[in-house]
Chains A and B, each alone.
Chain A
Amino acid sequence: MQTNLMVKSEVDVLTHSEQQKRKDQSVLRPRVHEKIQNFFKNMEEGFISPILRLKINRSLCNFHCEHCCEEPYMGRDLKKKTGAIDPREQMTIKDYAELSRQADEYGIFRFVLTGGEALLDKNIEDLIKALDPMKHLIILDTNGWTFDEEKAKWFAELGGYKVQISLDSYIEEEHDSFRKKPGSYKRVIRAIKAAKEAGLELLISTCIVKDRVFTKEFEDFCNYCNSEKVPLYVTLVKPVGTARGHDEWVCTKDDLDHLKNLEDEYNIFTHMTPSYGQPGKCITVKGINTINHDGEIIPCPYMDMSIGNVVHMPLAEILDRGMKNKWLGPYRDECIIGENFDFIKFHNDSVSKHLETSDLLPVPYETGFKTQGVIDNE
């Protein structure tokens, strides 16, 4: 039997807009373009180029969202628990500049600025300059509250690349209630408009709880994103942070399978959607790493365990040992912190044990990942 099946190479599977963006980078940011090309050339050899997601300013936030995984990292949470402020030193602008240098040398080309709410950091402009928007794509993660026309223009002029705006329901009341911030929905819509007008790349991110993907609201949301020509980045609520203990929120394989079907119909994706010519998979270490304000690198935005501190150890060594951890490096389809109960138990047990002696997350490498899953040298 013959069909018109095409065996596609990774370049073929890039969408037209992805190809166009790549061409644009060759003019706008030649170094970024060079790194992307090198990544494509070398990834079969085992080279990685993960996003580095920077949680800045002690994760300060002006929202109190129901599902927030970040709350335990926030100064306000620590103060509530202990009465004290976070005693750890934050990364300085000089530290971030050094991180940028190491990332560039490694072939990394994407930084996400997040918090909390990244825009609350009064040093954010210096930080963006230190990271160097000509060498890296700078992506801003925001709840949209202060991201108006002026802020969008400011970010674009600084060399910012993309804005990622959170919208947790297409129904205004639901979003505002979930975010515990009346008026938030309207500000998000304003932020979307502002980002477009400033010529920034844009995506909307939304967090899903169990069964939301089957609702009319979610279908309407997908249609809205299609009509606005804005990609929808879907994150899954995890049993961490303020969601710890809310197992009823955690998505099942059924939710994820449905999402994967919707990807064929809408411009939506998760962190596990095939991208950059690679199959869909868990992207711990290889696809994304979060860097806490004190330099601890966490191999997934939803984990509370570190693989090393970049202020004290070279980035390349930390990523290498992360890749050589059995849980984090090898290929697997499922989201281990969201779906793999063996890993969730290891993770949560490690976190609980750590919290018996410290109020500060993440769990350091030595008492966490080093105790399980280190691949022997062969």
Chain B
Amino acid sequence: MNKTKDIFDENGRRIPYKGMRVFNKNSLQYYKIKKPENNFSEILSNSKKYGGVNVKITEDYFKSKCLDLLKNIGSDNLLKGILNGVAIPFICCKSNNEKDMGLEFEKEVLPSVSLAFTENNPNLHFKAILQGEKKLANEIVISKRSRYQEFLNMYNSGKTIVGWYFPQALQEYDIESQREQMKTLPKQYNLVLSGMIDVSAALIGSPKLLINKDDYPPVLCLSAIKHSDKNLMLCYKAYGHHLEFWGMSQMLVPGVTQVSEQWSGGLTLFTTVDYS
């Protein structure tokens, strides 16, 4: 791969290479997230209130760490194009002792997302639904190709994580291709496929992320994690202005997974900060 050639397009979407299953080779960007203002103060405040982030962390510190990350990746010719797209700053830390990912997601993370969303949008609902008589507890594992383990190692060590979520970096890719393309990304950055903790943290910090009066937003796939039922994909999605978490089938027809124009895998860039 030519290291001087940008691998992201003018919208910050990864340019698909041969073998990737995508809806459109050149994305039409039909599904949109409005470029947010990224109010660091508000994001930090929400993350403290709903996400258990250390109250001593200041806005200036959070913002400077975030901007350092961008500066770093912006100097890489291969990756800088990712900054053309929507980028959501987030901050999170593990505030429980739960070891099972599914249980933590169900009992800690989703309720926090729910509370952040409904308190910031009092007339709207948050729902969490799994297709089939499925559960999350003891059923969630990491996709090995996602590099998400690196993120979780930091998270589980109790460190505070600061980062950016690029929700449309892999828009229109099927779930497997989202995972597969990770092997072609450089390893010197903490750049991983997005999963449940980081995307949830982004939604806790920015609870109006998917509210869009003019356009339909993409479905935010959590492709770094897998349910034991291989037919299910996990995601956040809007329903009108409401927010929903779904474990839904990724099968188009029996034996064939689907490539949806609306499904969007994300990439997450992160670092840890010394505020344990």
Contact = CB atoms under 8 A, between A and B. Distances in A.
Given A46-B255, A261-B123, A330-B260, A280 B30 contact: no
A331 B260 contact: yes
Interface size of B as a range: 35 or more
A44 B229 contact: yes
A5 B129 CA distance: 11
B135 A7 contact: yes
Contacts of B37: none
A378 B256 contact: yes
Interface residues of A, number: 47
B111 A8 contact: no
Contacts of A340: 30
Interface string B103-116: 00011101110110
Contact of A7 (B110, B252, B259): B110
- Top 6 A-B pairs, shortest CB-CB distance: A260-B240, A46-B251, A3-B111, A257-B240, A44-B231, A331-B260
A44 to B, nearest CB: 4
A328 B115 CA distance: 35
A10 B262 contact: no
B58 to A, nearest CB: 21
Interface string A364-378: 000000000001001
B151 to A, nearest CB: 21
Interface in A222-272: 253-254, 256-261, 264
Contact of B115 (A1, A13, A40, A375): A1
A256 B52 CA distance: 35
B52 A1 contact: yes
B253 A10 contact: no
Most chain B CB within 10 A, of A9, A40, A279, is at: A279
Nearest to B231: A44
Interface string A21-51: 0000000000000000000100111111000
A interface, over-half SS = loop
Nearest to B134: A9
Contact of B253 (A260, A264, A320): A320
B130 A330 contact: no
Contacts of B65: none
B101 to A, nearest CB: 14
A9 B251 CA distance: 18
Contact of A257 (B133, B241, B254): B241
Contacts of A47: 254
A306 B135 CA distance: 40
B50 interface: yes
Most chain A CB within 10 A, of B50, B115, B239, B245, is at: B239
Interface of A: 1-11, 13, 40, 43-48, 253-254, 256-261, 264, 274, 277-280, 320, 323-324, 326, 329-334, 340, 342, 375, 378
B155 interface: no
B248 interface: yes
B241 A333 contact: no
B252 A279 contact: no
A257 B124 CA distance: 11
B28 interface: yes
A5 B252 CA distance: 30
Interface stretch (B69-77, B180-188, B214-222): B214-222
Interface string B242-276: 10111011011111101111110000000000000
Contact of A279 (B28, B115, B125, B237): B237
B25 interface: no
Contact of A274 (B135, B239, B254, B259): B239
B142 interface: no
Contact of A261 (B124, B256, B259): B124
